[in-house]
């Protein structure tokens, strides 16, 4: 039985952004080409910049509260397969120092349930947080820059 799912940017939004010149906030969508890798929010993988990446501002659907805010994201400029494996911490989360931010169903943050994770232990931290009945979901952010990496929800039975 699955415990959680790391939810990527929807394919609908990915395709919409790939076809646009500006993001939902009126900022020009920037194309990044280079030798580095970037964390795609659709496939949730480290993607090579040589194939082209888009940099834009996006606001996740949750939380719907004072804690919801736009965040910078990278997206493969070309079509990629969305992440969808249950109980698997995606590459872009495992490879970073992350802030796991816990939220109640009303969108309010549960400060005492939040965790910082680096190196090993991402899966265990997610499970610890979701063991708390009052936690409705988690958002994983980069610890330094604060950019959202993915949304984490309990798996549906």
Task: Output the tens digit of pLDDT for each of the chain's 157 residues.
Answer: 679 999 999 999 999 999 999 999 999 999 999 889 999 999 999 999 899 999 999 999 999 999 999 999 999 999 999 999 999 999 999 999 999 999 999 999 999 999 999 989 999 999 999 999 999 999 999 999 999 999 999 997 5
Which range of residues forms the domain containing residue 107? 91-154
Same-domain pairing of 104 and 69: no
Q: Are residues 68 and 96 in the same domain?
A: no
d(C-alpha 1, C-alpha 60), whole Å: 27
Same domain, 54 and 25: yes
The per-residue pLDDT for 6 is 97
Whether residue 84 lies inside any domain: the answer is no
SS (H, E, C) the chain: CCCEEEECCCHHHHHHHHHCCECCCCCECEEECCCCEEEECCCCCEEEHHHCEEEEEECCCCCCCCCCCCEEEEEECCCCCCCCCECCCCHHHHCCCEEEEEECCCCCECHHHCEEECCCCHHHHHHHHHCCCCCCEEEEEECCCCCEEEEEEECCC
Distance between CA atoms of residues 39 and 47, nearest Å: 6
103 lies in the same domain as 47: no
Structural domain includes residue 146: yes
State how far the Cα of 133 lies from the Cα of 125, in Å rounded to an integer.
15
Q: How many domains does the chain fold into?
A: 2
Residue 3 lies in a domain: no
146 and 104 inside one domain:
yes
Asked if the structure places residue 126 within a domain, the reply is yes
The pLDDT value given to residue 30:
97
Question: Are residues 66 and 13 part of one domain?
Answer: yes
Last residue of one domain, picked from the residues 51, 76, 101: 76
What's the burial of 92, exposed, middle or buried (CB within 10 Å: 0-12/13-18/19+)? buried
Question: What pLDDT shows up at residue 156?
Answer: 78
Q: Cβ–Cβ contacts within 10 Å for residue 16, how many?
A: 12
User: Do 42 and 95 fall within a single domain?
Assistant: no
Last residue of a domain, one of 27, 42, 76: 76
Judge whether 83 lies within some domain. Answer: no
* Preceding omega of 63 cis (within 30 degrees of 0): yes
């Amino acid at each position: 039985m699955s415990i959680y799912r790391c939810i990527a940017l929807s394919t609908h939004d990915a395709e919409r952004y790939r076809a646009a010149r500006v993001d939902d906030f009126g900022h020009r969508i920037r194309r990044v080409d280079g030798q580095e890798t970037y964390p795609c929010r659709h496939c949730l993988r480290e993607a090579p910049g040589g194939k082209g990446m888009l940099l834009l501002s996006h606001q996740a659907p949750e939380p719907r509260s004072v804690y919801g805010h736009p965040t910078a994201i990278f997206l493969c400029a070309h079509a990629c397969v969305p992440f969808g494996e249950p109980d698997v911490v995606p590459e872009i989360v495992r490879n970073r120092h992350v802030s796991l931010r816990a939220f109640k169903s009303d969108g309010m943050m549960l400060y005492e349930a939040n965790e910082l994770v680096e190196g090993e232990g991402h899966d265990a931290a997610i499970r610890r947080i979701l063991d708390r009945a009052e936690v409705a979901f988690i958002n994983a952010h980069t610890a330094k820059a604060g950019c959202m990496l993915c949304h984490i929800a309990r798996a549906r039975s």
